[in-house]
Structure 1
Amino acid sequence: MGVREVVFNQRERLTRLERLACKWGASRAATVATANIVVNDAFAELCRLPDCTVYGLSAGCPPHVGGTFEMRKLLTQYEWAIALKIDVPTDILLGEERFHLYRVLHEIVAAVEQAAVEKGFSRARAFAGGSCKRIFCADQPDCSVLYGGPCRHPDRARPSMSGYGIDVSRLMNAAGWQMSWITRNTSAEEVPMGALVGMVLVG
């Protein structure tokens, strides 16, 4: 197989992963060069107390993940990532319903990760927004992994992008999407839609 055929084959596999992400619930999906993914130490710092009330409560969040150092190292080992988003009305993003959608986001990136492995991207790794403790194990006293046990949801829960300092705004720009910043003070009338974002490093 020549170089041109190899490149075409890889592009086709990446396109299929984008389509699968949308089939499984993503509003949009796009292949992004990892060279365009930006890591910001300040974003990872927001995962600490008192800014984040679930700091330290799960294996997928700081301080139990490699943070910005590990992510910068990882990005040098991959050429591509599948970025995906779920468009969500702002009033839902600011309410308790958002946790259900975070669960959907984790399930989509985990499924894309598995599909990528099956398509030959054996080192695929998925990341999503939100704490897996709050999303999947809110009714549990602790994260079992932190006490030497197995993850209760290994096929669905994935590490938090925030804990690795991923600049979501820059990631969305690299994917060709616009981002609207949503905070507790955002008016749903002024900014009607936001998004939840995840990514899968693929090759």
Structure 2
Amino acid sequence: MKELNTLIPELRQIALNSGANELQQIPAGIVKTAAWVRFKCRYGCKAYGKHLSCPPYSPTHEETEKVLRDYENAALIEFVGLPKETSVDPRHIHHYLWDLIQAVHNTIYKLERHAFLSGYYKAFGFGAYPCALCETCLPEEGDIDFHTVKRLCRHPDMMRPSMEASGIDVYATVRAAGFELEVVTTFDETIKTFGLLLLD
């Protein structure tokens, strides 16, 4: 297994080459979970129940908190930028940010895979926003049994839950790591997005 001080620069380079702004090693203990986070998904997000990476399919904050106890090390990955020129109404945030969401999910997959192949067999990534690996996700396509739908995912190797969908308080976590993150109040503001990689 590679030393962590060798792996982190490799992961940072992969992240930067994939469009991320920064990758920073953090102690897993500063990742914050909270019961209220998934309420923001359930009440207010148009993607609720439409993507396998989101509630009610994603881990609860209790499950995530329990898993976090198995890790000492993690990395936060920051993405900064505006969406590409698009005719999509920004109120349809999932499609407005489509390219960004795909970049986040693909980067998290690459990082997790590299860490795993470097000997960190517990490596696990969390993306941001609803999954964008497919044009439409299975729950959007009709009535599917809640208990069997996950095994029908078209990309089970790549699909990962988002931080927020898993009950992680993204704002508290990234601020604890020293990043600045504020609520975006207009569609013209630069958007900061974060992913998380658990390492051990």
Partner in structure 2 of residue 46 of structure 1: 40
Q: Quote the RMSD (CA, aligned, Å).
A: 2.7
Task: Choose the corresponding residue for 2:62, options 69, 72, 81.
Answer: 69
Q: Give the counterpart of 1:138 among 124, 135, 141.
A: 135
Deviations 1:111-140 (A, max 9, x none): 1000010111101111111112xx233345
User: What's 2:19 paired with?
Assistant: 25
Q: Which amino acid aligns with 1:199?
A: L
Structure 2 partner of 1:3: none
Q: Distance in 2 between matches of 1:60 and 1:9?
A: 31
* 1:91 positional shift: 9.2
Gaps of 5+ in 1: 1-5
Structure 1 residues 66 and 46, CA, compared in 2 at 3 Å: closer, same or farther? Answer: same
Q: Which residue number in structure 2 is paired with residue 89 of structure 1?
A: 82
Count the aligned residue pairs: 189
User: Which residue matches 2:184?
Assistant: 182
Ranges in structure 2 where 5+ consecutive residues have no aligned partner: none
State the identity as a percent.
Answer: 25
Following superposition, the deviation at residue 148 of structure 1 comes to 6.0
Q: In the aligned structure 1, how far is the partner of 2:47 from the partner of 2:20?
A: 26
Q: Which has the higher helix share?
A: 1
Q: Give the equivalent residue in structure 2 for 1:196.
A: 193
Aligned twin of 1:115: 114
TM-score, with structure 2 as normaliser: 0.82
Q: How far off is 1:21 after superposition?
A: 1.4
Q: Over residues 84-125 of structure 1, what are the superposed CA-to-partner deviations in whole Å (9 max), with x where a residue is unaligned? A: 011023897946431221111000001100001011110111
Distance in 2 between the 1:174 and 1:19 partners?
Answer: 23
TM-score, reference length from structure 1: 0.81
Aligned AA (1:200)? L
Indicate how the Cα distance of structure 1 residues 90 and 24 shifts in structure 2: closer, same or farther if over 3 A, else same: closer
Q: Amino acid of the residue matched to residue 194 of structure 1? A: I
Q: What CA deviation, in whole Å up to 9, does each residue of 1:2-29 have, x standing for no partner?
A: xxxx9x9222222322222112221111
Task: Name the amino acid aligned to 1:173.
Answer: R
Residues 90 and 182 of structure 1: is their aligned pair in 2 closer, same or farther, counting only changes over 3 Å? farther
